[in-house]
A = this chain, B = another copy of it.
Amino acid sequence: MATVTLESPESRFRQLAGLIRDAINRGEYRPGQPMPSEDDLAAEYGVSRRTVNQAMRILRAEGLVYVQRGRGTIVRPVPVIRRDAVGRQQIREAGGARGAFQAELAALGLTARSDVQVSEVQAPEDVAGLLAIEPGAAVLARARRMFANDVPVMLATSYLPLDIAAGTQIAQEDTGPGGVYSRLADLGHGPAELAETVTVRPPRDGEAAALGMDAEQRVYSIRRTAEDAAGRVVEVNDMALPVHQWELVYRWAAG
């Protein structure tokens, strides 16, 4: 095998990354299995280890492989999770068992698990602005970490105004059937309008560790705001999802 090129216009490390990427996609290197060592690849392709390392850096950034220090480079088993932002609300409304996240993963044959940490924190400046709260005032924060087959795939922190949520089941870890949105509805602040703003950025300090990511990889940074019927923003939810693990779907009626 070995389409041993390495001349021409494209830099060697990019060509090499391409060759290895193709090999992975052909199934030549199997998901969950370690790749040959960088020294071996360097010998095989007739380049320096530095060049191999640079090529692997590309594949890592793409989420195709990951490294276990001291052990080797492993091909990532890549179950891309499809997140239907609109549909998930409907599942929630329907009282979907343990939430939309679990339903999404179940459809892929994955097991879902999640953490929650509830606390009162000083509202980040922009969140305070959206919630129309004094800058620096306290809000209820629900910080969740979600796992698929015990691999972390999402961080989500939900901010809610204290005058609505304090002392309610929303301030409990378990928010009951239908989750936070159903409790908001019980309190007369059921979300009527939802909006999500999507950007892509490098993981922040904590996030890279919490999501098991490299600094060169990227997350979707999604900010959702929920307005009740009166037009008041009753929730701001900041999410971080590794881009190589997710696909986002939005649907709406024309007109």
Give me the interface of A with B, judged by CB distance under 8 Å.
14, 58, 61-62, 85-86, 89-90, 93, 181, 190-202, 215-216, 218, 220, 226, 243-244, 247-255
- Asked if residues A253 and B218 are in contact (CB atoms below 8 Å), the reply is no
A58 CA to B57 CA in the complex, in Å?
12
Taking CB as reference atom, which chain B residue is nearest A11? B215
Taking CB as reference atom, which chain B residue is nearest A248? B198
- Asked if residues B195 and A250 are in contact (CB atoms below 8 Å), the reply is yes
A220 CA to B247 CA in the complex, in Å?
11
Given contacts A89-B255, A255-B89, contact A216 B61 (CB under 8 A): yes
Besides A61-B61, A194-B253, 16 more A-B contacts (Cβ < 8 Å) are: A61-B216, A85-B252, A93-B254, A93-B255, A190-B254, A192-B254, A193-B254, A194-B254, A196-B250, A197-B249, A198-B248, A199-B248, A200-B218, A200-B220, A218-B243, A251-B252
A198: chain B residues at CB < 8 Å are 198, 247-250
A220 CA to B218 CA in the complex, in Å?
12
